[in-house]
Chains A and B, each alone.
Chain A
Amino acid sequence: MSFLLDGLRALTWQQVVMYVVGIVLIWLAIKKDYEPSLLLPMGFGAILVNLPLSGVLDQTLQGGIQANGIIQWLFDIGINASEAMPILLFIGIGAMIDFGPLLSNPLMFLFGAGAQFGIFAAILLASVFGFSLSDAASIGIIGAADGPTSILVSQILHSKYIGAIAVAAYSYMALVPIVQPFAIKLVTTKKERRIHMDYNPSSVSKKMRIIFPVAVTIIVGFVAPQSVALVGFLMFGNLIRECGVLGTMSDTAQNTLSNLITLLLGITISFSMRADQFVTLDTLIIMLIGLFAFVMDTIGGVLLAKFMNLFLKKKINPMVGGAGISAFPMSSRVIQKMAMEEDPTNIILMHAAGANVSGQIASVIAGGMVINLVTQFLK
């Protein structure tokens, strides 16, 4: 009966660490409500793939029999072969986004761009820590504050740290209510945080809402071709939402499709959380660089707003710049909450929402830019 102990005998201390990591992720998801749709499947998956001789991974059984594992198969097909899962998720994300606040106040577009600074600051820091260029770029993309983009870029660049990158990206997205106020208070004064902004939105026609996703796809396609898969599927989802004739498909994309892909993406990405790859000092460094990326994203957006205020007659509350990250709608809510803490009559939510959805577009452009630039240097 010694075969009953085969699993126990194959157990390593690194796998035990991964059980703890998995339980912590499940706890964060359930108890703290931190990105539960992703962290719970990832946490459970982390336990599954780290059970000794786990049947969810490909195994060679006694007698040389090959047994395929479901999580490894999902990873090979859904992420490794085509990046299908993160890309398909963008249809659902696009269908959820209302670009109205942005289209009625186009100045907010700039903050989406400014708040991508953390990506490049993190790439630089990762290079200083000695990571290879493709790994540094993959780590830096945590600053996109966009889980699917982080997974896609790190997969295309063949980073071995995809598991740690995904955990960092989703963890810090969940921690935006803690990270952003800290970063904003570092670079703003109380007086600046109290700035009121008028909201006089221009009306956005249905024609404009329909043409916008098509035009953005074409513009970004010409400028950053590597972004087309990301921005194309994001805008495809948005076109389904705005066209007005695909109501049930829009609902399906926003709910059923998004939930299904998110559920599978979480448990699939856990393939890259195997103990031998995950329990390293590098993982800890990646988590720290990821935090740095989120802080620098926020600071980049805020400083851009402060710079623009030097030239604008009607001042912008610099906190709005910090909402230019992709974590929607959490970031805009955090900014509004901070504004009300300083002055309960200050309503800047719609400005922040405009900057926030701009961050969605800018982050996928940034993903394409990073792939394009890094692959040029890898030649």
Chain B
Amino acid sequence: MNNVLISLEIMWKGMAGIFITILIIMLFVWLMGKFGSEK
């Protein structure tokens, strides 16, 4: 039971971590696109 609860915690933390990382990369790509189009 303990491992199941830990797995649930790993699930939400892991998915949140992946989405945050991907959003940071998206922000970077967007900024690069904006920077590039201004030149």
- To the question of whether A and B form a pair in one complex, the answer is yes
Q: With both chains docked as a complex, state the minimum distance between the C-beta of B28 and any C-beta of chain A, in angstroms.
A: 6
Alpha-carbon gap, A127 to B4, bound state (A): 5
Given contacts A124-B8, A216-B25, contact A366 B18 (CB under 8 A): yes
State whether B28 touches A219 (Cβ < 8 A).
yes
Query: Total interface residues on A, using CB and 8 Å?
Result: 44
In the assembled complex, A84 has its CB within 8 A of some CB on chain B: no
B7 x A127 contact (CB < 8 A):
yes
Kindly report which residue of chain A lies nearest to residue B33, judged by CB atoms: A202
Binary flags per residue of B19-36, CB closer than 8 Å to A gives 1, else 0: 111101110111011001
In angstroms, how far is the closest chain A Cβ from the Cβ of B39?
9
Complex CA distance for A369 and B9, rounded to whole angstroms = 12
Q: Name, among B20, B21, B36, the residue most crowded by chain A CB atoms within 10 Å (CB to CB).
A: B21
A105 to B25, CA, bound (A): 13
B10 touches which one: A110, A215, A358, A377 (CB < 8 A)? A377
Given contact pairs A113-B18, A127-B4, A212-B29, A120 touches B36 in the complex (Cβ within 8 A): no
Given known contacts A208-B33, A208-B36, A377-B6, A109 and B25 CB-to-CB distance under 8 angstroms: yes
Q: Which residue of chain B has its CB nearest to the CB of A378?
A: B6
**0 or 1 for each of A212-224: is its CB under 8 Å from B? (1 = yes):** 1001100110011
Q: Which residues of A contact B11 (CB under 8 A)?
A: 120-121, 123-124
What residues on B are CB-neighbors of A205 within 8 Å? 36
Q: Contact: A365 with B22, CB < 8 Å?
A: yes
Beyond A120-B14, A127-B4, A132-B3, is A110–B22 a contact (Cβ under 8 Å)? yes
Determine whether A23 belongs to the interface, using a CB cutoff of 8 Å to chain B: no
- Interface residue? A211 (CB, 8 A): yes
Query: A367 → chain B, closest Cβ, in Å?
Result: 10
Range for the number of chain B residues in contact with chain A:
20 to 34
For B9, the chain A residues whose CB sits under 8 A away are 377
Q: For the complex, give the distance between the alpha carbons of A164 and B18 in Å.
A: 26
A224 and B3 in contact, given A124-B8, A211-B32, A373-B13 (Cβ under 8 angstroms): no
Complex Cα gap A362–B23 (Å): 11
From A137, which residue of chain B is reached at the shortest CB distance? B10
A320 to B7, CA, bound (A): 28
Is the beta-carbon distance between B33 and A219 smaller than 8 angstroms? no
What residues of chain A lie closer than 8 Å to B33, measured between beta carbons? Answer: 106, 202, 208
CA distance in complex: A136, B13 (Å): 16
List of A residues within 8 angstroms of B28 by Cβ: 215, 219
Smallest CB–CB gap between A154 and chain B, Å?
Answer: 15
Are B7 and A123 closer than 8 Å at their CB atoms?
yes
* A263 CB-CB contact with B under 8 Å: no
The minimal Cβ–Cβ distance linking A285 to chain B, given in whole angstroms, is 15
User: For the complex, is A314 an interface residue (Cβ under 8 Å from B)?
Assistant: no
Q: How far is the CB of B16 from chain A (nearest CB, A)?
A: 9
From B24, B26, B29, residue with most partner A Cβ within 10 Å: B29
CB closest chain-A residue, reference B8: A124
Provide the bound-state CA to CA distance between A207 and B36, in Å.
9
Alpha-carbon distance A219/B9, docked complex (angstroms)? 24
Name 16 interchain pairs, CB-CB below 8 A, sorted by A. Answer: A106-B30, A106-B33, A113-B19, A113-B21, A113-B22, A116-B15, A120-B11, A136-B3, A205-B36, A208-B33, A212-B32, A223-B20, A365-B22, A366-B14, A370-B14, A374-B10
User: Closest 7 CB pairs between A and B?
Assistant: A120-B11, A127-B7, A127-B3, A124-B7, A113-B22, A223-B21, A369-B14
- B residues near A (Cβ < 8 Å) are 3-4, 6-11, 13-15, 17-22, 24-26, 28-30, 32-33, 36
Q: Which residues of A contact B (CB under 8 A)?
A: 103, 106-107, 109-110, 112-113, 116-117, 119-121, 123-124, 126-128, 131-133, 136-137, 202, 205, 207-208, 211-212, 215-216, 219-220, 223-224, 358, 361-362, 365-366, 369-370, 373-374, 377
